[in-house]
Structure 1
């Protein structure tokens, strides 16, 4: 596989049509080698528009979804970012390309170790990958300029929203079953947050987050 051509095709055919047009975001996507973050068994799918299994019930997001999350955070390069759900480290690498520092939390130790190795191979150095339950965030490093959840949740815990700076943004795919949307939360004051649904998409669940009780009749 010509990975350079495949990466170019991914950007032009999958990502641009999803209204990801920021030149700096596209530059990061064009330069991060996605194949370094894909399990060996799925190398042929590295640049396809699909979720890629990582084991442990986790999966890599579609390239266009990772790109759109990046785009909608509007990072400038000076931010401290918290990522929930490191997975293979691909989204982490994208964030690192547009932030000053990234703290990434992964609940599964094996995935965290793999992600560290992947990031090292890719030459990404401004990232701290930790084994932790992402639902509680990283209060010791807060406040963050931006928080991104690399997977879906039923709802965003208040604990995470409280770890944003005033003016900071949290982006997550929120909802149930086949009804989910990317929602952007903005902290507008010490005790006030706004939220806005941006686009519809379903994504694999992040582990460790509370699910609502389902009534049985």
Structure 2
């Protein structure tokens, strides 16, 4: 039988630490979180591979390294309010909750919304609240957010998300002029000034909505 504990340890050591992610809190959460419960049972044996996996509806669960990298870049501290756009399987939200955040996550695809919500309930992740809506509009009723993470790539940084970012705050989003080919952008707000920093090439599924594709 496959030993998920050993597979997680190998995943963290060979895929994440080996590529320079050093945040001990992120590493510990990913070492303990059962990633195989966030994919279809038929794909569970691939859950700890160094690659994204399909989760249905044309969407994917991001490869472990990207989840770890983005989680480290966000610099989440316990008690922070974090908005995630693109719930998907719920894995990224679960990692953020494991870091002590109060997570608000928005999913536009009904089937994924219901499956993720059930998964959070089954795993007793009460720090995660999920909503079915257009994620590019954010979650204005719960704003502002200390951190915002977008797990799909769009042509621009949605203005509603910048508006809903706390000051100080950090927002991570893949942005690109063509689909499935983006640059990971870190948006920071401090003392009323908004700055953008490119963090390297990435490839995410499309960000669909009023401020997406």
Judge same fold: TM > 0.5, yes or no.
Answer: yes
Short-chain TM bin: over 0.9
Equivalent residues of 1:93, 1:124 under 8 A apart = yes
Matches of 2:179 and 2:86 in 1, distance apart?
19
The answer as to 2:35 corresponding to 1:34 is yes
2: CA distance, partners of 1:206 / 1:41: 27
> 2:86, 2:151 within 8 Å by CA — same for their partners in 1?
yes
Could you say which residue in structure 1 is the equivalent of 2:149?
Answer: 148
In structure 1, how many angstroms separate the alpha carbons of the residues matched to 2:13 and 2:54?
24
1:126 aligned to 2:127? yes
**Which TM-score applies when normalising by structure 1?**
0.92
C-alpha distance after superposition, 1:6-44 (max 9, x if no partner): 111110010112221111111111111101111122112
Partner residue in 1 for 2:195:
194
Unaligned 5+ residue runs, structure 1? 212-217
For the 8 Å contact 1:81–1:99, the answer to whether it is kept is no
Cα distance change on mapping 1:116 and 1:174 into 2, 3 Å: same
Structure 2 counterpart of 1:181, from 171, 183, 187: 183
User: Is the Cα contact below 8 Å between 1:22 and 1:71 reproduced in 2?
Assistant: yes
CA, structure 1 residues 110+178, in 2 after alignment: closer, same or farther (shift >3 Å)? closer
Taking the aligned partners of 1:178 and 1:164, their CA distance within structure 2 comes to 25
TM-superposed deviation, 1:100: 3.1
Residues 87 and 107 in structure 2, CA contact (< 8 A), matched pair in contact too:
yes
When normalised by structure 2's length, the TM-score is: 0.94
Is 1:33–1:122's contact at 8 Å kept on the other side of the alignment?
A: no
- What is the number of equivalent residue pairs in this alignment? 210
Aligned to 1:214: none
Query: Are the equivalent residues in 2 in contact too, given 1:61–1:151 (CA < 8 A)?
Result: no
**RMSD of equivalent CA atoms:** 1.4
